[in-house]
């Protein structure tokens, strides 16, 4: 879980930002490029000041340069806490309220590069009524759609451990505000959740990627629990002993992602984590390899290893994973994975090689407080 580091500074510091950086003001296109939210700098005398504004820094992987949204007013409810998830451009924020007596979970469009000046923050449960999810560490979150698209959106918040919390803030069911399930076995303790638009279900892969557990997104209609599926793998690559030893020395994170056409992929990310005290840099760092498995159309329980996902790009971080077509965003590399977390960079699936980003203004990305949240293309 990444903490949202709240750095206070004077207004004079605003003028020290590199002139080479681009400021996000107006667009001539219908959508933005995918962006990486990597830094938020707040300005004000204190976090209790009425007037606290932020400069929100994004990285554009198409241009490999910085984009800044300046002077965005920081809502009072988001001033104490941390960003714990991102889906459809909406942040899932764990906030401390009422003199640190309890925590609230919000979804907010505060981090949307195209959001209006009037920030929307929606509590996922009645304020003042603490629930168990608020006290847990959160691995990520997923949403059925943006709250701008439908008031009947649903949110799944996956905790570190067996707990997953479903919320439908606009639902009419008596229990729709907060439904908690526990994932089976310990294999899901560090897993991440995603939403399948094709199936209208929330999915969570197990730690090793051998199982999937899923829930109907219309959980208010059927609250009987989860369903478990065991996966089969084919065409697994043959590795040398030294290659297996390298992967065994890495941490492994498993993601499930769905393409715009409904094709699903299971991805295993192998990385040698940076050591505590090491400063994070805008480099690929410890990432050693990704393994990509494509779901077979004729057998949804079989995942087949592939080094060709065609025109697609996959974006992995602490956000809900997503895919875009590279041809829709000239400058993106097709058949690639853009990653943020255990390093920052792009991985060529065919050559099996990661590379660090090459930002045009490297000094802008030298901070140790980097946030690993990708934001999908947003409508203007």
List, for residues 249-300, the tens digit of each pLDDT value: 998 999 999 999 999 999 999 998 655 445 555 667 789 999 999 999 889 8
Asked if the structure places residue 334 within a domain, the reply is yes
List, for residues 180-239, the tens digit of each pLDDT value: 666 666 677 778 999 999 999 999 999 889 999 888 887 654 454 678 899 999 999 999
Looking at residue 272, its pLDDT comes to 85
Q: Picking from 99-103, 129-133, 197-201, 292-296, which range would have the lowest pLDDT averaged per residue?
A: 129-133
Asked if the structure places residue 323 within a domain, the reply is yes
Judged against a pLDDT cut of 60, whether residue 344 lies above it is answered with yes
Looking at residue 26, its pLDDT comes to 39
Looking at residue 277, its pLDDT comes to 46
Residue range of the domain that includes 317: 231-371
The side-by-side arrangement of strands in the sheet containing 102-108 is 81-87, 90-97, 102-108, 121-123
Asked if the structure places residue 306 within a domain, the reply is yes
Asked if the structure places residue 189 within a domain, the reply is no
- CA–CA dist 364, 110 (Å, integer): 22
Asked if the structure places residue 380 within a domain, the reply is no
Decide: 337 and 308 in contact? Cβ < 8 Å.
no
Asked if the structure places residue 294 within a domain, the reply is yes
Residues in the chain: 380
Q: Angle at the Cα of 298 (from 292 to 302), degrees rounded to 5?
A: 40
Segment (H or E) for 157:
strand 155-159
Looking at residue 131, its pLDDT comes to 56
Decide: 107 and 91 in contact? Cβ < 8 Å.
yes
CA distance readout (Å), 373 to 7, 92, 172, 319:
18, 11, 31, 5
- CA–CA dist 2, 138 (Å, integer): 10
Decide: 280 and 5 in contact? Cβ < 8 Å.
no
Q: Which residue has the higher pLDDT, 338 or 31?
A: 338
Looking at residue 380, its pLDDT comes to 72
Looking at residue 9, its pLDDT comes to 36
- CA–CA dist 99, 189 (Å, integer): 31
Decide: 188 and 213 in contact? Cβ < 8 Å.
yes
Judged against a pLDDT cut of 80, whether residue 173 lies above it is answered with no
| Tally of domains within the chain | 1
Looking at residue 51, its pLDDT comes to 81
The residues near 299 (Cβ < 8 Å, ≥ 6 apart) are: 232
**Burial group, residue 276, by CB count within 10 angstroms (0-12, 13-18, 19+):** exposed
Asked if the structure places residue 190 within a domain, the reply is no
Predicted structure pTM score: 0.86
Judged against a pLDDT cut of 80, whether residue 94 lies above it is answered with yes
Asked if the structure places residue 259 within a domain, the reply is yes
């Amino acid at each position: 879980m990444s903490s949202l580091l709240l750095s206070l500074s004077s207004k004079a510091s605003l003028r020290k930002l590199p002139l080479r950086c681009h400021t996000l003001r107006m667009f001539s296109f219908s959508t933005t490029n995918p962006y990486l939210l990597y830094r938020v700098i707040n300005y004000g005398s204190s976090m209790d000041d009425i007037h606290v504004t932020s400069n929100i820094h994004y990285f554009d992987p198409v241009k490999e340069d910085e984009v800044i949204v300046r002077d965005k007013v920081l809502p009072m409810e988001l001033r104490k806490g941390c960003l714990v998830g991102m889906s459809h451009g909406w942040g899932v924020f764990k906030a401390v309220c009422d003199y640190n007596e309890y925590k609230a979970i919000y979804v907010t469009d505060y981090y949307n590069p195209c959001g209006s000046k009037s920030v929307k923050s929606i509590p996922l449960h009645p304020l003042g009524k603490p629930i168990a999810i608020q006290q847990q560490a959160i691995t990520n979150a997923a949403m059925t759609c943006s709250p701008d698209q439908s008031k009947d959106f649903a949110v799944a918040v996956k905790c570190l451990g067996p707990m997953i919390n479903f919320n439908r803030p606009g639902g009419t069911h008596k229990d729709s505000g907060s439904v908690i399930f526990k994932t089976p076995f310990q294999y899901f303790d560090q897993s991440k959740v995603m939403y399948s638009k094709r199936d209208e279900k929330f999915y969570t892969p197990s730690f090793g990627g051998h199982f999937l557990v899923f829930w109907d997104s219309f959980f208010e209609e059927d609250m009987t629990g989860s369903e478990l599926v065991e996966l089969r793998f084919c065409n697994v690559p043959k590795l040398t002993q030294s290659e297996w030893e390298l992967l065994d020395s890495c941490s492994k994170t498993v993601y499930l992602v769905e393409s715009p056409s409904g094709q699903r992929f299971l991805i295993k990310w192998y990385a040698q984590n940076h050591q505590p005290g090491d400063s994070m840099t805008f480099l690929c760092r410890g990432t050693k390899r990704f393994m990509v498995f494509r779901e077979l159309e004729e057998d949804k329980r079989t995942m087949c290893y592939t080094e060709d996902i065609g025109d697609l790009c996959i974006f992995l971080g602490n956000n809900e994973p997503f895919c875009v077509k590279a041809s829709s965003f000239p400058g993106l590399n097709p058949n690639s994975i853009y990653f943020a977390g255990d390093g920052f960079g792009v991985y060529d699936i065919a050559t099996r090689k990661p590379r660090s980003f090459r930002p045009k203004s490297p000094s802008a990305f030298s901070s140790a407080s980097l946030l690993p949240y990708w934001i999908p293309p947003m409508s203007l």
